[in-house]
Amino acid sequence: MAKAFDFPGGVHPPQHKTLSNQTPLIQAPLPRRVVLPLAQHIGQPAQPWVKVGDMVKTGQVIASAVGLISADLHASITGEVVAIEERPVPHPSQGMAPCIIIEGDGVTDEWETLSPLDWHQSSRDDLIERLARSGVVGLGGAGFPTQIKARVGEHHVIETLIVNAAECEPYITADDLTLRTYAGDVLEGAELLARLCGAERILVGIEDNKPAAIEALEVALADRRGDLPIELKVIATRYPSGGEKQLIKRLLDREVPSGGLPADIGVLCHNPGTLLAALRAVREGRPLVSRITTLTGEALARPGNVEARLGTSMAELLTFAGLDTTQLSRLIMGGPMMGFELASLDLPLVKATNCLIAASARELPPPTPEQPCIRCGACEAACPVALLPQQLYWFAKAREHDKAELFHLFDCIECGACDYVCPSHIPLVQYYRAAKGAIRAQILETRRAEHARHRFELRQARLEREAQEKAAKRAARAKATSRIAKQSDKNETASGLEDIKTLRIAQAAAKAALRKAEKALARAGESGDGNLEDLEIQLATARENLQAIQARMEAARESAS
């Protein structure tokens, strides 16, 4: 066994792995009907590409990724799309989510695959594009899109790729059987992802309770032809060695900083199932339409591991494994430490379903009622992150979220080790999850309020800018109007002067006409010749004309002054 470093705390719960690791991996029957939730990954749900009534082949894209962190979804059987609607999904919320339902005949299985690629020869961009088009996500339970993780080397220097084969949680043996069956492919998948992220070496971390898988890996390592150094490190079994931070600590003696990621210290971790799916997507052009799942628990007559199509009913799978409903007390998805209880058997297998435990009442009895904390400190001793679970419990219970954050609440990996050792049976992780949810909701609300404030400020700035622009335009118009008015005044003044000059001429002419009329009337009066009445009218007219011209001159002078 290789030298291993250590992390604090940890527990040794009963393994119960022999229930499911005694038989070879088998293929589950082809289902006649699958229910495929659009959100089987972290990020935005995929967008449907098909409509009710469409005929689809296995491997055909039926929903495409939305946004940066999302994944495509593919038909897992050949058949007809009979509905796109909300259905119950396996989630801690026990809620509903949009799903695509496909019905087949249970026999026909026509595939639509992508063209195979030689990952040694293909470009990095082509390989990442292939992973994106194949819908590959982390199959350890996280559901993080693999193509995003493969690009982490663009922002971090990755030195080591770790194959996380610890599978530390009780009951789960999916990775164990994956390695026993496909050890060579898992290692080749690791080389593929190492090339994409730029890692210089590969470490396979596995617990010593998987001797068959270790042997298979040793054989595969002896047969491999690649140049990249691959080292197998076997560590002592202790929960939760499979946590990324804990495994890195045990293998490399490095600590992921609080709030940080393994990439911050040059490490990237992948689950064996993810590596196998990535290799199949590239080498065989086969999208992710199935996964290896552990079916275990005392309520099953034939527990084991199956490779089953996504969307298969859990009830069908458990019936295939010999479910005795009279013995079934609790159905848990995942392990007993980090998994969650399902309220119904009528739920579909999803990409994150690594294990289904059909437990009897004796095996996993209902949770014991919570008792008051006795401040024993057992939770602190078991915590693998060196937190203060008891203190976090008080903060979470009192909704003192700011203090919980100060005590590194978000460093908690929710492994459940504190729950396991708590003599008061306090569901500590539930308190932490609730507190994290409340803090995330508060952060989201704060971001929304901040976004609304920014929008308001931008609107105010826009209105102010528009008002300034309008004011500037008004000022420009006023200036232009003033300039025009002044020019008009000048024109009017010049016109007035011109009118006075014309009126003076007219006045002189009127005076001359008046004098002429006076003389003509005088001569006619002295001589007695001519029509005196007409001459008097001409004289009066001349006088009126002269007076009118003089009045107009007076008005023109006033206007020009």
**pLDDT tens digits, 110-121:** 999 999 999 999
Nearest residue to 170 via CA among 433, 415, 430, 353:
415
Residue with tokens 């084969």: 165
CA distances in angstroms from 434 to 58, 94, 338, 391, 395, listed in the order given: 39, 16, 15, 15, 11
Provide, rounded to the nearest whole percent, the portion of the chain with pLDDT above 70.
96
Q: Give residue-wise pLDDT tens across range 65-80.
A: 987 788 999 999 999 9
Q: What is the pLDDT of residue 561?
A: 65
Q: What is the pLDDT of residue 512?
A: 87
Domain endpoint, select from 413, 438, 463: 438
Are 275 and 393 in the same domain?
A: no
Domain presence at residue 17: no
Q: What is the pLDDT of residue 550?
A: 84
The angle at the Cα of 193, spanning 280 to 190, to the nearest 5 degrees, equals 75
Domain presence at residue 58: no
Are 145 and 273 in the same domain?
A: yes
Residues β-bridged to residue 538: none
Domain presence at residue 167: yes
Domain endpoint, select from 411, 438, 465: 438
Residues β-bridged to residue 490: none
Which range of residues forms the domain containing residue 242?
114-286
Q: What is the pLDDT of residue 530?
A: 62
Are 416 and 272 in the same domain?
A: no
Are 385 and 282 in the same domain?
A: no
Q: What is the pLDDT of residue 491?
A: 67
Q: 422 a known binding residue?
A: yes
In the numeric block, which tokens belong to residue 32? 């006649």
Domain presence at residue 548: no
Which CATH number belongs to the domain containing residue 228 in this structure? 3.40.50.11540
Backbone angles phi, psi at 285, to 5 degrees: 65, 30
Residues of the chain short of pLDDT 50, as ranges, are: 1-2
Are 235 and 118 in the same domain?
A: yes
Q: 269 a known binding residue?
A: no
Are 396 and 275 in the same domain?
A: no
48 prior amide bond cis, ω within 30? no
Q: What is the pLDDT of residue 370?
A: 92
β-pairing, 160-165 with 267-270? parallel
CA 553 from chain centre, in angstroms, equals 87
Q: What is the DSSP string of 145-180?
A: BHHHHHTGGGTS---EEEEEE---STT--HHHHHHH
Domain presence at residue 238: yes
Are 393 and 255 in the same domain?
A: no
Domain presence at residue 480: no
Q: For residue 450, what is the enclosing H or E element?
A: helix 428-527
Q: Look at the alpha carbons of 342, 345, 346, 349 in this order and tell me if their dihedral is positive or negative.
A: positive
Are 136 and 269 in the same domain?
A: yes
Are 280 and 403 in the same domain?
A: no
Count of domains for the chain: 2
Q: What is the pLDDT of residue 69?
A: 84
Are 148 and 275 in the same domain?
A: yes
The angle at the Cα of 154, spanning 158 to 269, to the nearest 5 degrees, equals 40
Domain endpoint, select from 387, 414, 438: 438
Q: What is the pLDDT of residue 496?
A: 65
Tell me the three state secondary structure of residue 351.
coil
Are 249 and 394 in the same domain?
A: no
CA atoms of 120 and 16, how far apart (whole Å):
40
Q: 379 a known binding residue?
A: yes
Nearest residue to 58 via CA among 82, 34, 88:
34
Are 273 and 385 in the same domain?
A: no
